[in-house]
Amino acid sequence: MIQFPSFWTRHLSQESLPKNQFDLTSELKALFLQYFGGNPIIAFAPGRINLIGEHTDYQEGFVFPAAVQFGIWTGVQKNKLPFCRLYSMDFGEEFTFDWRSFSPKKGHWSTYVMGFLAQLKQAGYPFEGFDIVIGGNIPLGAGLSSSAALSVSIGTALSQLFGLNLSPLSISKYAQNSEHQFAGVNCGIMDPYASAFGKKDRALLLDCRSNQHQEIPIDLGEYSLLLVNSNVKHALADSAYNQRRAACEESVQLLQAHFPDIQTLRDLKNENLDEVEKLLPSSLFIKAKHVITECERVQSAAQHLSSGDLKAFGKLMNESHRSLSKGYEVSCPELDFLAEKAWEFPGVLGARMMGGGFGGCTINLIKRSQIKNFQERIGNEYLASFNRQATFISVEISSGAHIILGLD
C-alpha cells in the first residue's frame, strides 16, 4: 500500500473563508505527481445555491438553482493494479479498495468514490484500477451541496478516464442514486443536476418531474448574492424533513378524491387553494399551501429575472421565507432573525432561508456598495442576540462540471 505523509486540512474554517475562489488545479497536479507519478485527468464540479424553490423537489415541483464558484477537484489516472488508491486533500487521508469487490463505508468520504463506481458497475460499464486525488474549497456548513459536487466531480473524471461519454443527466442520476444507496441520504435531483448542468451567469429553472431545465440569464447589475451562514444546525432537521414529506404525501392521497388527475401537489395552482383548504385539515393545508405557492413563485421568479425586474424577484424571496417559516415551519429563530433584519436594511431587495431549514444560510440580494455595512451591522446584531458569529459568503453564478485537464 502506498504511504502518505500527514497533509493539511483543505476544508475552510469559518475564519478563513476566501475572498475569491482559489484554484486547486496546480496543487492537485503536483501532489498527484509526487505520490502516484504521471499527469492525471482533472475534473471540476461546483457547489450550488438555490435562488428560490425549497421543499418542492420531492413533490416533483420546480426549483431554481445555479452553480457557484466553489467546488471539488478530482484527479484520476489508471494504475493497472487490482485496487484503487484514493487520497483526500481535505482530510489528509488515504484509502485503498479492491475494485473487483468492495462495499462502501457509510459516513466515510471514500463512500462517494465507491458509490459512484458501484453505479457504473451496475450499469455494465467497463472499468479497472485507478488512482484518485480529491480536494475542494466549498465552505463547510454553508449548504452549498459539497457531497453532490463531490459525486459529480468523481463521475465527470471517471467518465473521461474510461471513455464512457456519460451525459450530464446520467452523471446527475448516478450521483443521486449513490447518495441514496450508499450515503443514506434521500436527496432530490436538484443538487447534482445543478452541479452537472450549471452555466456561468445562468440559473436553471428545473422541472423535477421531467428532469429538464430552462436556462435563465441572470444579470444582477449593481446587486450581488450574499449568503449569511447562521452557523447553527438544529437536531430536529432530519425528523422534520421526513414529517414534511409524509404530510405532502398524505395531502395528495386526500386530495385525489376531488382532484383525481393530480400526482403530486405540483399539479395544483394558487387558484385551487380555496378548495384545497376545505378538503384538508389545517395542519396539512398550511404545508400543502407552501408547496403549491412556492412552485408558482419559482416560475414567477424566472420571469422577473428574465426581464431584469430585481425588485419583483426580491419580493418573491421574502414571500418564500415567510411561507417556509410560518407555513411549512422549517425555519428557526436564527434564520428568521437574519431574514427579517435583512428586510430592514437599505440596499437589500430580498432575503430568505436557503435549503432544508432549521439552520444553515440565508440568501440575500443586496447592493454591492452596501455589503460591508451590512456585514458589520448584521454580524454585530446576530452576535448580540445569539452569542454566535455569522459567516458571510459572496457567491458568483458560475460554470458547471467540466474537465480542466485531459489526457496529453
Active-site residue, from 131, 191, 207, 267: 191
> Is 224 flagged in the annotation as binding?
no
C-alpha dihedral sign at 106, 107, 108, 114:
positive
According to the annotation, is 383 in a ligand binding site?
A: no
Structure-block grid coordinates of residue 150: 463531490
Question: Is 143 marked as binding a ligand?
Answer: yes
Q: Could you tell me the three cell numbers for 101?
A: 469487490
The set of residues, in sequence order, having a beta carbon less than 8 Å from that of 363 and lying 6+ positions away, is 49, 50, 51, 225, 226, 227, 317, 351, 352, 353, 354
Answer yes or no: is 141 a known binding residue.
Answer: yes
**Does 112 show up as a binding residue in the annotation?**
no
**Cell representation of residue 401:** 462540471
Known binder of ligand: residue 146? yes
The two counts, helices (H) then strands (E), for the chain are: 11, 13
The answer to whether 56 is a known ligand-binding residue is yes
How many CB atoms are located within 10 Å of the residue 59 CB?
26
Q: What are φ and ψ of residue 189, in 5° steps? A: -80, -20
Concerning whether 191 is annotated as a catalytic residue, the answer is: yes
Beta bridge partners of 353: 362
The reply to whether 13 sits in an annotated binding site is no
- Which amino acid makes up residue 213? H
Q: Measured between alpha carbons, how far is residue 187 from residues 29, 58, 192, 241 in Å?
A: 32, 9, 10, 11
In 18-167, where does DSSP find H-type helix?
25-35, 110-122, 146-161
179 annotated ligand binder: yes
Element (H, E) at 196: helix 190-197
402 has binding-site annotation? no
Annotated binding site: 54-57, 88, 141-147, 179, 241
Catalytic residues: 191
Annotated binding site for ATP: 88, 141-147
Annotated binding site for Mg(2+): 147, 179
Annotated binding site for substrate: 54-57, 241
